[in-house]
Chains A and B, each alone.
Chain A
Amino acid sequence: MRELYEKHAAAVLAYAERLTRDRGAAEDVLQETMLRAWRHPDVLRNGKGSVRGWLMTVAQRIVIDRARALSARPTEQEEDLGAAPPQRDHSGRVIEALEVIDAIRDLPEEQKAVIMHLYFCDSSLLDSSSALDVPKGTVKSRAHYALRALRKSISGSVNTEGRAAE
């Protein structure tokens, strides 16, 4: 548990905080996420599986489910809203997106650096090229290898972990 926490808690907490906009609530979500992980040791034992993706998906579900459970005073309209069928399809799509996380984390360092710069630091091609100290063409070809590798690992690991999150 401690190891899991030390590895992933910052990411789960930051994500929960963005969703809830409330540090205290986010800590509750983190706590609940960790408890669910503890109750689903199979997820963690699946070796390289999508632990980070699983945890973030669970955190997102908790934010939603918790707010639903707290749905007080069902007036007519609120009841209408709450009565909509659960969106299994949608949560499936989120999980698929989160699968990408582990694939990116597993990329060779050079390719990962390119992906992080271009996608998650809002760097331009030129910025990335000077930050990484390689020509722009190299940035592009590393990006290409990275995209191909990601595509391969994602299509190869249609997740079994995600389902445990339900």
Chain B
Amino acid sequence: MREDGDMNLDGMSMDHDIEQLVALAMGLSDASDRSAAEAHLAGCPTCRQELQELREIDAAIRRVPPEAFLEGPPADADLVLQRVLREVRAPPRLRSGAAAASSVWISGADARTGAELVAAVAEAGHGVRLTAVVVGVPAGERCTLVVIDRTGTRYTAVRWIAPECGAGGVQGSAPVRIDDVVAVAVLAADGSGIIS
């Protein structure tokens, strides 16, 4: 499995401990392994380089949605397929929108953070219920979805921690009448706007 190799690690020499590096990159090492590895890394640019590359690929794997590894057709298989096949054969038609009269869609993207938000705001009781899809938030970020009313007051609808892939759906509610909702925003833990 040795490659053109920027590094020859396969010998498992006493110097370069590749298993330790992998464990370190993937966050699998315990405290004593970690300090041993760090001691070696301090004096070994080759291993530092390798660690850096392993960490990059580790991060890329963590961005993959876990659903990606489901195989096969959905359990109640054929319905959607039938619809697809029908549509493939029929001329295009306009589908009616999913938004009921008492709900409104809000969407936005933030040029600075690169994050995107799409939220459905629906009337529910005396307030609103929100279903939002948020994409492009740094993994692990503590997010708050807030509803802003006419007076500028912010109501927290839901808090969550961004998943590794940065994309996720959340639901929440706020005690604001739907007609008074003027904006929806996603805030980071420090109160700065991720999307606003």
Residues of A within 8 A of B (CB): 1-2, 5-7, 9-11, 13-15, 18-22, 25, 27-28, 30-31, 34-35, 38, 52-53, 56, 60, 63-64, 67-68, 70-73, 75-78, 80-82, 84-87, 89-90, 93-94, 96-98, 100-101, 104-105, 115-116, 118-120, 124-125, 137, 140-141, 143-145, 147-152, 154
Contacts and interface: CB of A to CB of B under 8 A. Distances in A.
A63 B116 CA distance: 11
B196 to A, nearest CB: 8
B87 to A, nearest CB: 6
Given A15-B65, A34-B80, 16 more contacts: A5-B73, A10-B72, A13-B74, A13-B80, A18-B65, A19-B167, A20-B133, A21-B169, A38-B84, A64-B116, A68-B105, A72-B104, A100-B64, A141-B19, A152-B3, A154-B57
Given A9-B81, A27-B80, A70-B99, A18 B107 contact: no
Most buried by A among B67, B70, B81: B67
Interface residues of B, number: 70
* Top 5 closest pairs, chain A to chain B, by CB: A81-B108, A67-B118, A97-B63, A14-B67, A140-B19
A9 B133 CA distance: 21
B66 interface: yes
Given A18-B169, A150-B57, A152-B3, A100 B26 contact: no
B62 interface: yes
A22 B110 CA distance: 25
29 contacts: A5-B84, A6-B73, A10-B71, A11-B67, A15-B65, A18-B65, A27-B80, A35-B88, A56-B68, A60-B167, A64-B118, A67-B118, A70-B98, A70-B99, A71-B107, A78-B104, A82-B107, A85-B109, A89-B114, A93-B114, A94-B167, A96-B60, A97-B60, A104-B61, A104-B69, A144-B19, A144-B22, A147-B57, A147-B58
Contacts of B182: 75-77
Given A5-B81, A34-B84, A90 B131 contact: no
A21 B56 contact: no
A145 to B, nearest CB: 5
A126 B149 CA distance: 51
Nearest to A37: B84
Contacts of A140: 19, 22-23, 28
A9 B73 CA distance: 5
B64 A98 contact: yes
Given A64-B133, A89-B114, A90-B135, A14 B60 contact: no
Most buried by A among B84, B109, B119: B84
Contact of A81 (B1, B63, B183): B183
Contacts of B87: 31, 35
Contacts of B104: 72-73, 78
B109 A86 contact: yes
B65 A56 contact: yes
B148 to A, nearest CB: 8
Contacts of A94: 135-136, 166-167
Nearest to B20: A140
A125 B120 contact: no
Interface in B1-50: 1, 3, 18-19, 21-23, 25-26, 28
A14 B166 CA distance: 16
